[in-house]
Amino acid sequence: MTKSLLSVQDLRVDFDTYDGVVKALDGVTFRILEGEIFGLVGETGCGKTITALSIIRLVPENGRITQGRILFRAEDLLQKTEEEMRKLRGGKISMIFQDPSVSLNPVFTVGEQTTHIISVHQNLERDDAVRKTIEAFELVALSDPEKTMKQYPHELSGGMQQRVMIAMALSSDPDMLIADEPTSSVDVTIQAQLLKRLMQIKSTRNLAILLITHNMGIVAETCDKVGVMYAGNIVEMGPMREVLKNPLHPYTQGLLAAIPKPETRRTRLPLVKGSIPDLINRPQGCAFHPRCPYAIDVCQAEKPVLLENGPGRYAACHLVNR
């Protein structure tokens, strides 16, 4: 039986702003098994990236985790010291950030940066760290690893920068990879190559991946399970094929209906009307009810709970769970 690797339980994160307290995460719960790809999808600002940063304890200074547990191999990361977290980050848990041009240091070659990470986390001498860097660059199919090592980030294309970021993340042989929009800065052809490479590496290493994206096509190609986020909550979760084929939550239905299909190319696509709510003055009850075409009285009064609705299928919706 596959073991649970990461368990996020009732995670809540607040941010202090001049306008008030932003409830960025309002009770997020999900689990990722060993060797599993879990897709976290939703509109910009729904809390996907904050979820990832909370897992590795890198929430920005004006934010704070107010409640919840983050269990990695049954150990609560929220109870660990900063020194313990530094060893874990880039070691057992690695993260690919969204924009490689910002994440890579412009004054050092990509080889120096990768070698440094390997040296720190694996306590290797320089020659061994250089050898591991070349191996990591070969793993992500960089065509000339020795030449690439001597180049600065600005000398590389967006696709090559992203490959370097993936190589850095995988160089310590982590148990889990957090990939935050890993292909958003590259064109469709490079995107397909990067995803294919990630899938190959995942299979050979039994690597678990938390894949953060707004692209349902990427989810369909890569994920085992998917969680749909809205306004700091997971509103639907389950096996990828079942969620995409038979979405339960009205928000998921709206997202999928807005995806262009060959048969709808000459028709106007339906939209999820309205906009995401103000997370300082969150709507009472279900946060989606002002935009939901099926909202009933209870939706305005009570926040729905994420409940199991069939084997492995979860939804936070009064209509689904009544």
Alpha-carbon gap, residue 149 to 129, rounded angstroms:
12
Cβ pair 14, 47 in contact under 8 A: no
Alpha-carbon gap, residue 254 to 293, rounded angstroms:
10
Torsion angle of alpha carbons 102, 104, 106, 109, nearest 10°? -160
Residue 305 has pLDDT above 90, yes or no: yes
Alpha-carbon gap, residue 2 to 70, rounded angstroms:
19
DSSP 197-234: HHHHHHHHHT-EEEEEES-HHHHHHH-SEEEEEETTEE
Instruction: Tell me what pLDDT residue 3 has.
Output: 87
Residue 261 has pLDDT above 70, yes or no: no
If you average pLDDT over each of 51-60, 160-169, 216-225, 273-282, which comes out highest?
51-60
Instruction: Tell me what pLDDT residue 191 has.
Output: 77
Q: For the whole prediction, is pTM greater than 0.85?
A: yes
Instruction: Tell me what pLDDT residue 1 has.
Output: 62
Q: What is the mean pLDDT of residues 19-28?
A: 95
Instruction: Tell me what pLDDT residue 196 has.
Output: 82
**How do residues 152-210 score in pLDDT, each as one tens digit?**
999 998 888 888 988 888 888 899 999 998 877 677 777 777 788 888 888 888 899 99
Give the pLDDT band of residue 263 (cuts 50, 70, 90): low
Instruction: Tell me what pLDDT residue 268 has.
Output: 67
**How do residues 90-126 score in pLDDT, each as one tens digit?**
789 999 887 777 888 999 999 999 998 888 777 788 8
Cβ pair 24, 50 in contact under 8 A: yes
Higher pLDDT, 212 or 201: 212
Residue 287 has pLDDT above 90, yes or no: yes
Instruction: Tell me what pLDDT residue 234 has.
Output: 97
Instruction: Tell me what pLDDT residue 266 has.
Output: 60
**How do residues 214-254 score in pLDDT, each as one tens digit?**
888 889 989 999 999 999 999 999 999 999 999 999 999 98
Beta strands in 35-141 (DSSP E): 37-41, 63-72, 75-76, 93-96
Q: How many CB atoms are located within 10 Å of the residue 208 CB? A: 24
- Output DSSP code: residue 109: -
Cβ pair 8, 67 in contact under 8 A: no
Residue 264 has pLDDT above 60, yes or no: no
Residue 46 has pLDDT above 70, yes or no: yes
Q: What is the mean pLDDT of residues 44-63?
A: 94
**How do residues 123-133 score in pLDDT, each as one tens digit?**
788 888 899 99
Mean pLDDT of the chain: 89
Instruction: Tell me what pLDDT residue 120 has.
Output: 79
Among residues 50, 41, 60, 104, the alpha carbon closest in space to that of 236 is found at: 41
Instruction: Tell me what pLDDT residue 267 has.
Output: 65
Share of the chain above pLDDT 70, in %: 96
Share of the chain above pLDDT 90, in %: 57
